Amino acid sequence: MTRQELTEQIRKKKSYLCVGLDTDVTKIPPHLLSFSDPVFEFNRRIIDATRDYCVAYKINTAFYEAGGVKGWEAMERTTNYISRDHFKIADAKRGDIGNTSSQYAKAFFETMAFDAITVAPYMGSDSVLPFLEYKDKWTILLGLTSNTGAADFELQPAGEGLLYEKVLRTARGWASPENLMFVVGATQPEWFENIRKLTPDYFYLVPGVGTQGGSLREISIKAMNKEVGLLVNVGRDIIFSSKGEDFAEAAGARARAYADEMSGYLK
């Protein structure tokens, strides 16, 4: 999916919501466990209920990898079920020496039909460039994350500023806003104005709204640019809105509430 296509979907739906399919089999409604693939069945119904209110889905691959072969099959079935009009993100946080990254890129961009993958930048350019070689595919680089451990490295002094700032400045030279995004956690909204100054034209994938306590209003005010430039991910607060047989309807209603709020912030 190109940047123009993504922006058009945001404008069309008046939403920049990304639904996180962090599907924990121990948390899905019990009545689904009788299905041959309960994770996919859960995801299928969530997707059907939320597709009109979001522009993207993010699959946290750890929840699927933990299930071995069956987990990978559920992930592939889920990815294939999501329509081409939705931006599909593999939240895999890969990043290794070049030949290994090339295989990771092949796995998620060729073998599986993802539009984007999250990548850790701390091994440098040769660990990231293999992902950037794919046309109309996106690399989403970890910028400033929302976990408390971000203080260990990301917020430490490095040169003229902090380490995360050095990452953003350096990565700007690797790719354009056409195929590079940054992960910026929603739980630290005070950093967004500075981050937007460093990367004015780039899209951000923003986790941390909802269960983790990030403010959609603050993020939207401080981080939106002329092309919106935001994909705000909400996972548990949507997909686990209900543990009953009405889980899909509850997820759809929650997604719609987020989309309705987002429509009010769009410029």
Q: For residue range 15-74, what is the model confidence (pLDDT) as tens digits?
A: 999 999 999 999 999 999 999 999 999 999 999 999 999 999 999 999 999 999 999 999
Angle between helices 38-50 and 247-265 (to 10 degrees): 40
216-222: Cβ within 8 A, 24+ apart: 216/186, 216/258, 216/261, 216/262, 216/265, 217/261, 217/265, 218/189, 218/192, 219/186, 219/189, 219/192, 220/262, 220/265, 221/265, 222/189, 222/192, 222/193, 222/196
Options 14, 70, 93, 222, the catalytic residue? 93
Count structural domains, the chain.
1
Q: 211-254, pLDDT tens digit by residue?
A: 777 889 999 999 999 999 999 999 999 999 999 999 999 999 99
> Which class for 93: exposed (0-12), middle (13-18), buried (19 or more C-beta within 10 A)?
middle
Q: Which two tokens stand for residue 45?
A: 């119904």
Answer whether 87's CB lies under 8 Å from 1's CB.
yes
**CATH code of 146's domain:** 3.20.20.70
Tens-place pLDDT, residues 167-206? 999 999 999 999 999 999 988 788 899 999 999 999 999 9
Q: Please give the structure tokens belonging to residue 112.
A: 């599986």
- CA distances to 77, 121, 168, 220 from 183, rounded to whole Å, are 26, 11, 10, 15
Is 228:244 a contact under the CB 8 Å cutoff? Answer: no
Q: What is the distance between the alpha carbons of residues 167 and 169, in angstroms, rounded to a whole number?
A: 6
State the pLDDT at residue 238: 97
Give counts: helices (H), strands (E), the chain: 12, 10
Three-point CA angle 195, 198, 202, nearest 5°:
80
pLDDT in tens, 117-169: 999 999 999 999 999 999 999 999 999 998 889 899 999 999 889 999 999 99
Separation of alpha carbons 1 and 46, rounded Å? 22
- To the query of whether residue 58 is one of the catalytic residues in this protein, the response is no
C-alpha 199/C-alpha 175 separation (Å) is 12
By residue range, what is the domain housing residue 187?
3-265
The answer to whether the Cα torsion of 11, 214, 245, 19 is positive or negative is positive
User: How far does the chain reach from its first CA to its final CA, in angstroms?
Assistant: 23
**Closest Cα to residue 87, out of 1, 180, 7, 203?**
1
Q: Give this prediction's pTM.
A: 0.96
Does the pLDDT of residue 109 top 90, yes or no? Answer: yes
Cα separation, 173 vs 167, whole angstroms? 10
Q: How far apart are CA 247 and CA 237, in angstroms?
A: 12
